[in-house]
């Protein structure tokens, strides 16, 4: 598909959402649903004189504004939207909630959750009557020690992107299948992947690592533990494979490839396959491509990290019930979720969202398929200690260091850091 990115008509979206929310679930319909008892119904609540403060970023503000307008009209409450830079939300929320100065609700990423729970700044969230409409991987991502702390609305994951003029549209099942197709295409590079240059990029390489059965942390009951899971035979097998395909092996993976170089090679037709996220599609204007799940290199499913965007409720909110009512009755609805997607297109975490208006609707389907076989990025605080050790070890192995020794030293050093 030849690609161009268009702009979203967020004003029209907001108007449509306002109309939809205002004519949504009736009192009779909501009261017939058991889950509705947690928050009553929108029309049954008189919140006159109460104020909800919500932190949003610029991209999501129009959609939230529309839901907030309907909420104000039907409940009498006042909603104060505070626009903030997304990069500032996490630190500001952690700093201000304990002082009582933070918002009632904030938008944020799911991997902030570990710090939020540890610092006691978030409350649990009721997903409401439409709980079954959320994807399981998204719910898992906002679950900590068995409790749901966020209302997810979008996901993101990397996937395999292939030049269809060179290799067609069929998804390769394995790494070997992919490399053969890439070589047969005559492309200068059968495959390229961003290694963040000499820094290493465990995030982008992770689907191949999980295909060897070496998750970054051990999971129990759907939640991550603090036990490093990428050691042992499975981790060594992945490290060996990485070395074999590094600069002293096949050369298919190289520390000379950073994000910009990777995208330039693919967009120019010099590279047949790459692994990237939806954020890179704007760099592929000159090439026809298709998005498929990442193929397995180790025999198991190649499961990428899945990132989730969600709404959080402050543990210090004086209107926590009202905040949950807003989320369950005005955000966890088909119309609101559609508006959020239209305002800031990301893979929806809510079923039924129409993605046909996307600049690349078929690509969205491919990324969704990749996310469906993915796993949530760990939100536990220990994850913050992983990246430097992990990325550095992968970079050294790609450059030619002994794979098993380098990998096992990384496991030892990381484990010691986590226990120290």
In three-state form (DSSP H/G/I as H, E/B as E, the rest C), the secondary structure along 29-43 is HHHCCHHHHHCCCHH
Residues 143 and 171 in one domain: no
Residue 293 within a domain = yes
> In DSSP terms, which residues pair with 56 in a beta bridge?
83
What tens digit of pLDDT does each residue of 4-13 get? 323 223 333 3
Residues 83 and 119 in one domain: yes
Residues 176 and 193 in one domain: yes
Residues 402 and 345 in one domain: no
What tens digit of pLDDT does each residue of 67-100 get? 999 999 999 999 999 999 988 999 999 999 999 8
Q: How many domains are contained in the chain? A: 2
Q: Could you count the other beta carbons within 10 Å of the beta carbon of residue 57?
A: 18
Residues 175 and 61 in one domain: no
User: Residue 100 region, left (φ>0) first, then alpha (ψ -120 to 50), else beta?
Assistant: left
Of the ranges 7-11, 19-23, 37-41, 104-108, which one carries the lowest mean pLDDT score? Answer: 7-11
What tens digit of pLDDT does each residue of 119-136 get? 999 999 999 888 999 999
Give the whole-angstrom CA distance, residue 361 versus residue 366: 9
Using the CB atoms, write b or e for 180-219: b if 16+ within 10 Å: ebbeebebebbbbbbbbbeebbbbbbbbbbbbbbbbbbeb
Residues 62 and 180 in one domain: no
Give the whole-angstrom CA distance, residue 154 versus residue 306: 10
Does residue 399 surpass a pLDDT of 70?
yes
Residue 1 confidence (pLDDT): 38
Does residue 112 surpass a pLDDT of 50?
yes
Residue 24 confidence (pLDDT): 35
Residue 285 within a domain = yes
What tens digit of pLDDT does each residue of 376-391 get? 999 898 998 999 999 9
Residues 172 and 290 in one domain: yes
Tell me the helices (H) and strands (E) count for the chain, helix number first: 16, 16
Task: Give 309's pLDDT tier (boundaries 50, 70, 90).
Answer: very high
Does residue 20 surpass a pLDDT of 50?
no
* Full residue range of the structural domain in which residue 61 is found: 10-156+307-375
Residues 267 and 413 in one domain: yes
| Mean pLDDT value across residues 171-180 | 98
Residue partners of 6: CB distance under 8 A and separation at least 6: 359
- Kindly state the DSSP code that residue 4 receives in the 8-state scheme: -
Residue 5 within a domain = no
Residues 262 and 411 in one domain: yes
Residue 2 within a domain = no
Choice between 342 and 395, residue whose per-residue pLDDT is larger? 395
State the pTM of this model.
0.80
Does residue 318 surpass a pLDDT of 50?
yes
Residue 255 within a domain = yes
Does residue 115 surpass a pLDDT of 80?
yes
- CATH number for the domain spanning 107: value is 3.40.190.10
Does residue 23 surpass a pLDDT of 80?
no
What tens digit of pLDDT does each residue of 207-257 get? 999 999 999 999 887 788 999 999 999 999 999 999 999 999 999 999 999
Task: Give 44's pLDDT tier (boundaries 50, 70, 90).
Answer: low
> Under DSSP, is residue 352 helix (H, G, I), strand (E, B) or coil?
coil
DSSP per residue, 101-149 = -S-SEEEEEGGGHHHHHHTT-EE----GGGGGGB-HHHHHHTEETTEE-
Residue 4 within a domain = no
Task: Give 37's pLDDT tier (boundaries 50, 70, 90).
Answer: very low
Residues 147 and 49 in one domain: yes
Does residue 14 surpass a pLDDT of 80?
no
Does residue 40 surpass a pLDDT of 60?
no
Residues 226 and 170 in one domain: yes
Does residue 197 surpass a pLDDT of 60?
yes
Choice between 63 and 259, residue whose per-residue pLDDT is larger? 259
> In DSSP terms, which residues pair with 311 in a beta bridge?
107, 151
Residues 240 and 182 in one domain: yes
């Amino acid at each position: 598909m030849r690609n161009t990115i268009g702009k979203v008509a967020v004003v029209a979206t907001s108007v449509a959402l306002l109309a939809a929310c205002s004519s949504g679930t009736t009192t009779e319909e909501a009261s017939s649903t058991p889950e509705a008892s947690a928050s009553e119904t929108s029309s049954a609540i008189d919140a006159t004189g109460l104020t909800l403060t919500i932190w949003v970023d610029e991209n999501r503000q129009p959609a939230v504004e529309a839901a907030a307008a309907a909420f104000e009209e039907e409940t009498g409450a006042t909603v104060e939207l505070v626009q903030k830079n997304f990069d500032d939300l996490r630190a500001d929320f952690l700093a201000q909630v304990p002082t009582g100065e933070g918002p009632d609700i904030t938008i944020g990423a799911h991997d902030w959750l570990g710090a939020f729970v540890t610092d006691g700044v978030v409350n649990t969230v009721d997903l409401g009557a439409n709980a079954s409409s959320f994807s399981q991987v998204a719910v898992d991502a906002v679950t900590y020690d068995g409790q749901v702390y966020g209302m997810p609305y979008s996901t993101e994951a990397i996937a395999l992107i292939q030049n269809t003029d060179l290799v067609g549209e069929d998804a390769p099942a394995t790494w070997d299948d992919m490399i053969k197709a890439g070589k047969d295409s005559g492309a200068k590079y059968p495959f390229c992947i961003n290694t963040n240059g000499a820094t290493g990029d465990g995030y982008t390489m992770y689907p191949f690592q999980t295909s060897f059965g070496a998750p970054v942390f051990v999971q129990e009951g759907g939640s991550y533990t603090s036990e490093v899971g990428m050691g042992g035979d499975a981790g060594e097998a992945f490290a060996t494979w990485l070395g074999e395909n590094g600069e002293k092996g096949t050369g298919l993976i190289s520390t000379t490839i950073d994000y910009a170089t990777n995208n330039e090679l693919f967009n120019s037709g010099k590279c047949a396959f790459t692994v990237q996220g939806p954020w890179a599609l704007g760099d592929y204007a000159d090439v026809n491509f298709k998005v498929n799940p990442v193929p397995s290199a180790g025999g198991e499913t190649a499961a990428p990290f899945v990132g989730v965007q969600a709404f959080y409720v402050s543990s210090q909110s004086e209107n926590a019930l009202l905040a949950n009512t807003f989320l369950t009755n005005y955000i966890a609805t088909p119309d609101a979720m559609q508006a959020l997607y239209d305002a800031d297109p990301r893979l929806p975490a809510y079923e039924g969202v129409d993605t046909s208006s996307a600049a690349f609707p078929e690509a969205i389907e491919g990324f969704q398929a990749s996310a469906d076989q993915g796993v949530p990025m760990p939100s536990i605080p220990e994850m913050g200690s992983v990246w430097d050790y992990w990325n550095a070890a992968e970079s050294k192995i790609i450059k030619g260091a002994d794979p098993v020794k380098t990998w096992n030293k990384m496991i030892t050093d990381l484990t010691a850091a986590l226990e120290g």
